[in-house]
Structure 1
Amino acid sequence: MTTRLWPHRLYRGSLSDLGRMRRDLCEDLPNLDAELLDTLLLCGSEIFANCVKYSASGHDGGHVIRTLRRQGGFLCLGFTDDGLGGTIPTVPRSRTADEWADAEGGRGLLLVEELSTAWGYRPVCPWGDLGHHTWAAFPLPAAAR
């Protein structure tokens, strides 16, 4: 199985760094299929924004780390936050149709779930709240494998 790991990238825990994260992803994947790159940019933006909004990463001095690796026929994009009181990434499931229509948040991970082959999270450290790593995997076109 062929594995490639790109250098991790560190961002301030601020939505103002979202554009830089997107530019870096384009720079790291210059020859990737345009449709897949658009999907990665969209899903990466959603996960990055969640790190900023729902963790200590979004507070003064917080950070988000981006990871990127190719393993076999998949590209895996991940983000690690600074943690915050045990919150975990979840897809809301228990809303009524009216509540979904009025909801301002909670749709980002639904989008990631629909556009990726798989997604998930894991604690950085199982015995302390040092953050979570949230990832999503995307199949590579046969030519890119």
Structure 2
Amino acid sequence: MVIVPQPPVATAHPERRWEPRLYPGTLATTGRVRSDLRTDLARLTGLGGDLVETVVLCASEMFANAVEHPRSGEADGRVIRTLAVHTAPGAGSVLRLSVIDDGARGTRPLVPRQRTAGEWWEAERGRGLLLVEHTAADWGARPVLDFPFCAGLDTVTWAEFALPVPARAEPGR
């Protein structure tokens, strides 16, 4: 039997990771988070404006949660945003947005409990992760892995978005 090596199969979206971005844990930084994300997403060709705005909306909500609930919102708090494109088996290429916080004040991010229509009407808060749940293809939260360079970090909240077939990361940008 002869074994012939096969060239890698080309995908519409090559695997790609952007440099993680570190932000101070203040709500005043949210505009910079959105601007930086738009800059990073501009490196994907063929990405529609609606998808860009959806990803930016989710990032805003995830960042606000990371500042509001865990220690990231305290003095010297920090939030890390990561962005990657990967191929999901049977699902094509996926954009994964992650927000990493400094540690819990007791709870992990959750979609709010069921509310009555009146409670939703009166509520001033608690819709952020609900927006993420309804606009992302998938989302979740998990503990940060225990590595020395991750000291002090606690929770990764992530959201995934299916990429259109023609979108691809431009090399060298």
Judge same fold: TM > 0.5, yes or no. yes
19, 22, 32: which is aligned to 1:10? 22
Asked whether the 8 Å contact 1:84–1:129 carries over to 2, the reply is no
Q: TM-score, normalised by structure 1?
A: 0.92
Q: TM-score, normalised by structure 2?
A: 0.78
Query: In the TM superposition, what is the alpha-carbon distance from 1:130 to its structure 2 partner?
Result: 3.8
Structure 1 unaligned residues grouped into runs of 5+: none
93, 111, 121: which is aligned to 1:101? 121
**Relative to total residues, which structure has the larger helix share, 1 or 2?**
1
Secondary structure, counterpart of 1:46 in structure 2? helix
Matched, 1:23 2:35: yes
- What is the match of residue 62 of structure 1? 77
- What is the match of residue 89 of structure 1? 109
Higher gyration radius (CA): 2
Secondary structure, counterpart of 1:21 in structure 2? helix
Aligned length: 144
Secondary structure, counterpart of 1:143 in structure 2? coil
Segments ≥4 residues shifted beyond 4 Å: none
126, 140, 148: which is aligned to 1:120? 140
Query: In the TM superposition, what is the alpha-carbon distance from 1:125 to its structure 2 partner?
Result: 4.4
Matched, 1:139 2:162: yes
Structure 2 unaligned residues grouped into runs of 5+: 1-10, 88-92, 169-173
Asked whether the 8 Å contact 1:85–1:129 carries over to 2, the reply is no
Distance 1:63 1:87 in 2: 18
Secondary structure, counterpart of 1:122 in structure 2? strand
Q: What's the C-alpha RMSD, in Å, of the aligned pairs?
A: 1.7
